[in-house]
Amino acid sequence: MPETTSLAWFRRDLRLHDNAALAAACDADRVVPVYCVDPREYGDRPFGGPDSFDFEKTGAHRARFRLESLSDLRASLRDRGSDLLVREGRPESVLPEVAAAVDADVVTVHTRPTPEESSVESAVETELRDDGVELRRFWGHTLTHVDDLPMALSALPDTYTTFRKAVESAAEDADADAATGRGSARVGDSAVGDHVGRNSSGRNLAGRDPLSEPTVPPLPRDAPDAGDLPAVSDLVGIPDAEFDPAPDDRGVLPFDGGETAALDRVASYIWAGDNLREYKETRNGLLGADYSSKFSPWLNEGCLSPRYVKAEVDRYEDRRVANDSTYWLVFELRWRDFFQFQFAKHGRDFFRREGIRERTDIDWRRDDAQFERWAAGKTGIPFVDANMRELNATGYMSNRGRQNAASFLANDLRLDWRRGAAYFETRLVDYDPASNYGNWAYIAGVGNDSRDRSLDVRWQAKRYDENAEYVTTWLPELDALPAEYAREPWKLSEDEQASYGVELGVDYPEPMVDLDER
């Protein structure tokens, strides 16, 4: 038998555990792991359509996290006698070159349902096909495999609760069948099997276990030079001198990139810290490392598999406690799944201002000055500003913060929600197209919910930051104020401003809208 050679094309799956694409690549005799730094993912890009605007695709926080993740993956592969080739260039140019250099037969990759990502896959597939090389796609970034959904993608419910209940009850039925020896249900008409490369013949409704790490063969001798990783300043629009890699000590976590740090975080959050038992009660917090899991950056760059997280939750339930909190972490992971499948169903429609609901009744405005105030955390509404300043300083914002910052832009200011979403795209360390645009559309009322999702940010601040500890952490200029005024400084009289030493319009902005008029 002639030797077979594969390229394991890494994208946002920067891990060795539960990696179906890597495992399949390792079926070949020779394996060359490759990562392409695609120039389209960096620098300024236009957001098309009416009222087009420019935004930076990837900011410094995510670029740093990604480069650390690549460095960690390369180190793990080197420990196993292999390596990670890193090339700057479009995958559809780079991969055929590397494939030709090592005489590869096949390239394996994890597919993504979002339009930009899947169009790159198609371009790569076309170029490779011309050279007689096969591209094999795998689905591996959700908790439920796309082939295991209890409905066809075209019939996917557009509301989360309906989706979740269908997935949960299919899993319960499958578990019951397994217990009575009837085996799990299998359905032949795999809804999107072709799309992902027919790696499943039936559905595993109970859910799949994470795959163990494959044995990666040593890098072939004729493999090209591994190449250097770029620096953050090569990728983002800030000069070296201005990039401060030191984490802000007010941030919730330093967020070190890579699979090693991801597995450490799972161990410390779930096991050492024993935080999972209270997750449901603490998850709306704003300050500190452990009010929520903080798994999102690692999940989104693929350093962590959601199935691994679920397996750890199951183990925790067996060994420590099974309660509402342990259920709720999986409930949130299903939200993540939901948006991935929604994008697989609706595609580009999610990026339209009118959204998948085709709402033409909302009068979206454009006001660059107002947008800049929101982005800089200078709206004069402390709860919004503190969250935006945390985002800018650290790349992270709590879920509670994201909902309020987004609702303020979309529902109070009525500025084009996509501009806010694009700003999050630049800044978030955990940005994912489906989770980000899906959540933004939801809050703006053009996504997966027909109900009004606008939030009263004053009420929210009182409910979730009663002592104003959060706002004064990020807005130290309000530190001298009693909590009520730190949350709503526009209520200060002139005399009170003088006595506390906080002058509105000088030390902290006047509010840019009158929330009482809403």
Ligand X SMILES: Cc1cc2nc3c(=O)[nH]c(=O)nc-3n(C[C@H](O)[C@H](O)[C@H](O)COP(=O)(O)OP(=O)(O)OC[C@H]3O[C@@H](n4cnc5c(N)ncnc54)[C@H](O)[C@@H]3O)c2cc1C
Q: Which residues sit at the interface with ligand X, rule CB under 6 A?
A: 283, 292-296, 299-300, 329, 332-333, 335-336, 339, 398-399, 402-403, 406, 424, 428, 430-432, 435-436, 439-440, 443
Q: What is the sign of the dihedral through the CA atoms of 367, 371, 373 and 379?
A: positive
331 labelled as ligand-binding? no
Least spacing, CB of residue 323 vs ligand X, in Å? 16
- C-beta closer to ligand X: residue 214 or 395: 395
Nearest to 424 by CA among 442, 408, 406: 406
Give the nearest distance from C-beta 94 to ligand X in angstroms: 27
**Helices assigned H by DSSP within 188-305:** 193-196, 232-235, 259-266, 279-282, 296-300
Q: How many residues does the chain have?
A: 518
Asked whether residue 324 is marked as a ligand-binding residue, the answer is no
Closer of 9 and 423 to ligand X (Cβ): 423
Minimum gap (Å) between residue 68 Cβ and ligand X: 18
Nearer Cβ to ligand X (333/415): 333
293 annotated to a ligand binding site: yes
The radius of gyration computed from the CA coordinates of the chain, to the nearest angstrom, equals 24
Residue 42 annotated as binding site? no
Per-residue tokens: 443: 């809050």
By C-beta, is 105 or 412 nearer to ligand X? 412
Q: Is 10 annotated as a binding residue?
A: no
Whole-angstrom distance, CA of residue 465 vs CA of residue 398? 13
Closer to ligand X by CB, 128 or 329: give it.
Answer: 329
Residue with smaller CB distance to ligand X, 440 or 508: 440
Q: Establish whether 333 is an annotated binding residue.
A: yes
CA distance 116 to 52: 17
- Residue 279 labeled ligand binder: yes
Residue 295 marked ligand-binding: yes
Residue 56 or 92: the one with the smaller Cβ distance to ligand X is 56
Query: Toward ligand X, which CB reaches closer, 133 or 252?
Result: 252
What gap in Å lies between CA 242 and CA 462, rounded to an integer? 36
Per the annotation, does 430 bind a ligand? yes
Supply 470's token pair.
């959060």
CA neighbor of 436 nearest in space, from 475, 395, 477: 395
What is the nearest approach in angstroms of ligand X to the Cβ of residue 398? 6
Classify residue 211 by burial, with Cβ atoms within 10 Å: 0-12, 13-18, 19+.
middle
Answer yes or no: are the C-beta atoms of 32 and 102 closer than 8 Å.
yes
Nearest to 415 by CA among 379, 374, 385: 374
Closest CA to 138 of 172, 168, 112: 112
Does residue 55 contact residue 44 with C-beta atoms inside 8 Å? yes
Closest approach, Cβ 333 to ligand X, in A, equals 5
Q: How many CB atoms lie within 10 A of CB 94?
A: 23
Report whether 294 belongs to an annotated binding site. Answer: yes
Residue 215: other Cβ atoms inside 10 A: 9
Q: Is 116 annotated as a binding residue?
A: no
Question: Is 314 annotated in some ligand binding site?
Answer: no
CB of residue 242 vs ligand X: minimum separation in angstroms? 25
| 118 annotated among ligand-binding-site residues | no
Cβ of residue 311: shortest distance to ligand X, in angstroms? 15
CB 99 within 8 A of CB 129: no
Distance in Å, CB of 429 to ligand X, minimum: 9
- To ligand X, the closest distance from the beta carbon of 440 in angstroms equals 5
| 119, HSE (Cβ side, Cα atoms, 13 Å) | 5
Please identify, using beta-carbon distances, which residue of 136 and 427 lies nearer to ligand X: 427
By beta-carbon proximity to ligand X, the closer residue of 308 and 424 is: 424
For residue 277, what are the β-bridge partners? Answer: none
Angle, helices 306-319/259-266, rounded to nearest 10 degrees: 20
First to last CA, the chain: 74
- CB of 302: closest distance to ligand X in angstroms? 12
- The torsion angles phi and psi of 356, rounded to 5 degrees, stand at -70, -15
DSSP string, 37-91: E-GGGSSEEEE-STT-EEEESS-HHHHHHHHHHHHHHHHHHHHTT---EEEES-H
Annotated binding site for FAD: 279, 292-296, 332-339, 430-432
Annotated binding site: 279, 292-296, 332-339, 430-432
